[in-house]
């Protein structure tokens, strides 16, 4: 009975353990997750801060944070020695590109924004720099040849073959200038038109790459290009915006020309040095960074342009940039924290779900391996789960979702009435104990436990029967001993009376003989009772089969006479075998008793014995009422009986079947209603018969 309380508790405790395990693991997992999150957040914050600082440096100094740190280092001893060895550096630039570099016609002085910048760079690096004014077409070639050390240029793929370039010093736009009445609207409209470009200018390289079928007319400088446009020999001029605007104003062409709305390009201007002189490039970049820190370009461009945005890359104000970076960094960190937490939570939930599923699977395995039937019901009585034992019992029919009342073995249960949640039922000849338990905090409301207790009841009945037989044996032994004493006296006095019988008194002699015969018969019955009561279940003895059956017939003699039944035994006197005597006693007694009970109005029983191929074959045949076909498959089931209540336990043939199995034999039955029944026993004759005697 304990299993019915234990199983629901185990299941409930199993679920509780899952929850306890879930929550205990949760703290451990949370500690690990928090550490991971903190490390990831710290790494990301560092990366975000580095990115923010990099953006700030790029916005302020027009270079990356890495280069800023690289060029912030003072000149090394090697670099100082290099400058000392050089003595003077030579800077080559255009001699006619106002306001950047040009020779003033009024005093012959070479000046301009670029020259002011180079002069400041000379002071910053502590080395003298001399200027070399030339036509632009000779500027780059002078650096390549080694005549000059450096020049100011636009970086390009073609120039990268011979030069390396410093960090940007300022920014320059190139524009397209056309006649006022020209129908050209954009740079691509220059295709198949003549365009004037100074020889060696980057603009020529650009248009050859980006504008097809353009006809380039090379000039000495932009002033010469504008003259070509003014004379109608070209249809457009391309050049640096400040220089082109300066010459147009100087030549009085402002009213004759116009500029296309979009700039042709907008690029950084750098200092170019020979590829073979990388040390000089590193020195120049350190000087350029220092001038950036002093906002020198902004100061000199105000001198030459009177504005502060013509040649500088557009910069976001530092205060606004810092505020923007702080706000964005904070938002990114918050977003990252949220995303990381969401991801971590999702990961942990997935992991915990997997652990929970594994635990549930383990619990389901335990659930399935229980021999009792377990059925889980929801609040409406519908089946939501069942174990393997129950599914095998119903032959794996799909039952999930069915109402429990639709399944015959469960129909007698009631989940609504607490008084009917425990009890015992009989179904198809077997006994079941059931219990319905209500669960809290589970996926279902009720768990039904059904245990097949047929074998238990059978064992109990067998124990009772065994105790009863022991008691009967003890009683028979006691009665036999008590009867034997007076029987012995009667036998003795009969012997004495014989000596006093007068010769020729036949009546007295016949009377004494009848008395002696009756005494011998009673003595034989007493011996049979004693033999039956003293039989050992596991003891092997050599028995004469005919005598054994005769003794059983004698025990049933009263019932035989009462029902007017004739018994015929066909058995050789010499059939002897080593066997378990008690088992044969139970077998023969039950078969004979059943045959007698099946013929209340009289009949005959024939017992045939024969030995074939080391087997003893015994047939018990009667001409009684017979057994119907529907009962033939069930007659060996425990507690199956067709007798009225109180006339049989239903264990007789079950005991016969078990005892036959115990001695390694077989039993078959053949019966037809109204014609009788035949039981055939086939018992092996042990080879060890004589060796063990």
For all residues of the chain together, what is the average pLDDT?
Answer: 81
Buried b (16+ CB within 10 A) or exposed e, 226-244: bbbbbeeebbbbbbbbbbb
* Residue 176, helix vs strand vs coil: strand
Minimum mean pLDDT range among 177-186, 199-208, 424-433: 424-433
- Pick the last residue of a domain from 414, 431, 452: 452
pLDDT at position 20 is 45
Residues in the chain: 693
- Pick the last residue of a domain from 534, 554, 575: 534
Among the ranges 187-201, 466-480, 650-664, which has the highest mean pLDDT value?
187-201
At 287, which CATH number? Answer: 3.40.190.290
Minimum mean pLDDT range among 15-24, 53-62, 532-541, 569-578: 15-24
d(CA 348, CA 338): 15
The two tokens of residue 159 are 């120039």
CB 448 within 8 A of CB 413: yes
263 and 290 belong to one structural domain: yes
- Pick the last residue of a domain from 271, 296, 312: 312
360 and 413 belong to one structural domain: no
540 and 528 belong to one structural domain: no
pLDDT at position 314 is 54
pLDDT at position 7 is 54
521 and 586 belong to one structural domain: no
167 and 179 belong to one structural domain: yes
* Residue 443, helix vs strand vs coil: coil
pLDDT at position 247 is 94
pLDDT at position 197 is 96
pLDDT at 238 over 70: yes
Minimum mean pLDDT range among 155-159, 165-169, 383-387: 383-387
pLDDT at 1 over 50: no
308 and 325 belong to one structural domain: no
205 and 235 belong to one structural domain: yes
CB atoms within 10 A of CB 655: 21
42 and 163 belong to one structural domain: no
Alpha helices per DSSP H over 536-627: 545-555, 557-562, 581-597
595 and 672 belong to one structural domain: yes
Between the CA of residue 235 and those of 34, 191, 646, what are the distances in Å?
A: 70, 11, 132
pLDDT at 409 over 80: no
pLDDT at position 22 is 46
d(CA 134, CA 151): 11
Secondary-structure breakdown of the chain: helix, strand, coil percentages, each rounded to the nearest 5: 50, 20, 25
d(CA 300, CA 311): 10
d(CA 659, CA 669): 16
pLDDT at 639 over 80: no
Residue 18: pLDDT band (50, 70, 90) is: very low
pLDDT at position 145 is 95
Residue 307: pLDDT band (50, 70, 90) is: low
Query: Going by C-beta distance under 8 Å and a sequence separation of 6 or more, which residues neighbour residue 189?
Result: 183
Domain around 139: 63-312
660 and 691 belong to one structural domain: yes
Residue 23: pLDDT band (50, 70, 90) is: very low
Give the total number of structural domains in the chain.
5
Minimum mean pLDDT range among 209-223, 287-301, 532-546, 566-580: 532-546
Average pLDDT over residues 520-538: 61
pLDDT at position 538 is 60
As to burial, measured by CB atoms within 10 angstroms (0-12 exposed, 13-18 middle, 19+ buried), residue 142 is middle
Structure confidence by residue, pLDDT tens digits, 364-392 = 777 677 778 888 888 777 887 888 788 77
- Which has more confidence, 607 or 502? 607
Please give the helix or strand (H or E) that residue 392 lies within, else none. Answer: helix 388-393
152 and 298 belong to one structural domain: yes
Q: How far apart are the first and last CA of the chain?
A: 47
d(CA 262, CA 185): 10
CB 321 within 8 A of CB 56: yes
At 417, which CATH number? Answer: 3.30.450.20
pLDDT at 49 over 60: yes
153 and 294 belong to one structural domain: yes
pLDDT at position 269 is 95
pLDDT at 309 over 50: no
pLDDT at position 400 is 81
Structure confidence by residue, pLDDT tens digits, 656-693 = 888 888 888 999 899 888 888 999 999 998 754 433 43
pLDDT at position 152 is 96
At 586, which CATH number? Answer: 3.30.565.10
- Which has more confidence, 371 or 174? 174
pLDDT at position 53 is 81
């Amino acid at each position: 009975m304990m299993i019915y309380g234990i199983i629901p508790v185990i299941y409930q405790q199993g679920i509780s353990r899952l929850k306890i395990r879930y929550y205990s693991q949760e703290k451990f997992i949370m500690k690990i997750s928090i550490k991971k999150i903190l490390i990831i957040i710290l790494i990301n914050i560092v990366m975000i801060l580095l990115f923010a600082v990099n953006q700030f440096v790029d916005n302020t100094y027009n270079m990356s944070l890495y280069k800023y740190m690289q060029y912030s280092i003072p000149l090394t001893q090697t670099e100082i020695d290099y400058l000392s060895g050089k003595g003077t550096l030579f800077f080559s630039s255009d001699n006619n590109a106002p306001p950047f570099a040009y020779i003033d016609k009024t005093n012959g002085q070479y000046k301009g924004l670029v020259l002011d910048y180079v002069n400041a760079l000379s002071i910053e690096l502590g080395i003298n720099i001399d200027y070399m004014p030339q036509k632009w077409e000779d500027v780059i070639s002078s650096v390549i040849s080694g005549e000059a050390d450096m020049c100011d240029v636009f970086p390009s793929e073609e120039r990268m073959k011979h030069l390396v370039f410093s960090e940007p010093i300022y920014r320059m736009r190139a524009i397209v200038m056309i006649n006022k009445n020209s129908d050209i609207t954009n740079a691509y409209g220059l295709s198949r038109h003549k365009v004037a470009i100074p020889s060696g200018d980057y603009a020529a390289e650009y248009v050859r790459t980006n504008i097809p079928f353009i006809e380039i007319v090379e000039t000495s400088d932009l002033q010469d290009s504008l003259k070509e446009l003014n004379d109608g020999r070209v249809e457009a001029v391309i050049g640096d915006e400040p220089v082109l605007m300066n010459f147009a104003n100087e030549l009085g062409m402002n009213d004759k020309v116009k500029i296309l709305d979009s700039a042709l390009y907008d690029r950084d201007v750098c200092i170019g040095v020979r590829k073979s002189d990388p040390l000089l490039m590193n020195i120049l970049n350190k000087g350029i960074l220092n001038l950036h820190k002093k906002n020198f370009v902004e100061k000199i461009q105000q001198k030459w342009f009177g504005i502060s945005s013509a040649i500088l890359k557009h910069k976001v104000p530092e205060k606004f940039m810092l505020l923007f970076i702080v706000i964005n960094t904070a938002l990114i960190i918050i977003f990252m924290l949220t995303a990381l937490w969401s991801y971590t939570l999702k990961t942990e939930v997935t992991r915990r779900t997997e652990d929970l599923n594994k635990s549930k699977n383990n619990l389901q395995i335990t659930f399935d391996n229980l021999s009792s039937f377990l059925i889980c019901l929801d609040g409406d009585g519908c089946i939501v789960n069942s174990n393997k034992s129950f599914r095998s019992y119903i032959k794996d029919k799909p039952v999930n979702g069915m109402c429990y009342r639709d399944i015959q073995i469960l129909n007698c249960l009631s989940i609504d009435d607490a008084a009917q949640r425990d009890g015992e039922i009989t179904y198809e000849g077997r006994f079941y104990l059931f219990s319905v338990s209500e669960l809290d905090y589970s996926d279902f409301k009720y768990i039904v436990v059904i245990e097949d207790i047929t074998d238990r009841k059978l064992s109990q009945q067998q124990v009772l029967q065994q105790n009863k037989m022991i008691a009967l044996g003890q009683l028979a032994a006691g009665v036999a001993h008590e009867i034997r004493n007076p029987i012995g006296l009667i036998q003795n006095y009969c012997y004495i009376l014989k000596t006093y019988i007068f010769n020729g008194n036949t009546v007295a002699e016949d009377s004494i003989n009848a008395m002696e015969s009756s005494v011998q018969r009673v003595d034989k019955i007493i011996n049979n009772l004693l033999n039956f009561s003293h039989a050992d279940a596991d003891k092997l003895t050599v028995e004469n089969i005919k005598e054994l059956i005769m003794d059983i017939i004698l025990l049933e003699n009263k019932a035989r006479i009462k029902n007017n039944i004739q018994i015929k035994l066909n058995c050789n006197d010499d059939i002897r075998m080593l066997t378990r005597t008690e088992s044969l006693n139970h077998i023969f007694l039950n078969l004979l008793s059943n045959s007698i009970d099946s013929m209340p109005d009289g009949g005959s029983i024939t017992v045939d014995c024969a030995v074939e191929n080391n087997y003893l074959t015994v047939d018990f045949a009667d001409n009684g009422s017979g057994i119907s076909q529907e009962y033939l498959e069930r007659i060996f089931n425990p507690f199956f009986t067709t007798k009225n209540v109180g006339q049989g336990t239903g264990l007789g043939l079950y005991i016969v079947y078990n005892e036959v199995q115990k001695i390694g034999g077989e039993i078959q039955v053949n019966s037809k209603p109204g014609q009788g029944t035949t039981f055939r026993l086939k018992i092996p004759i042990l080879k060890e018969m004589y060796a063990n005697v």
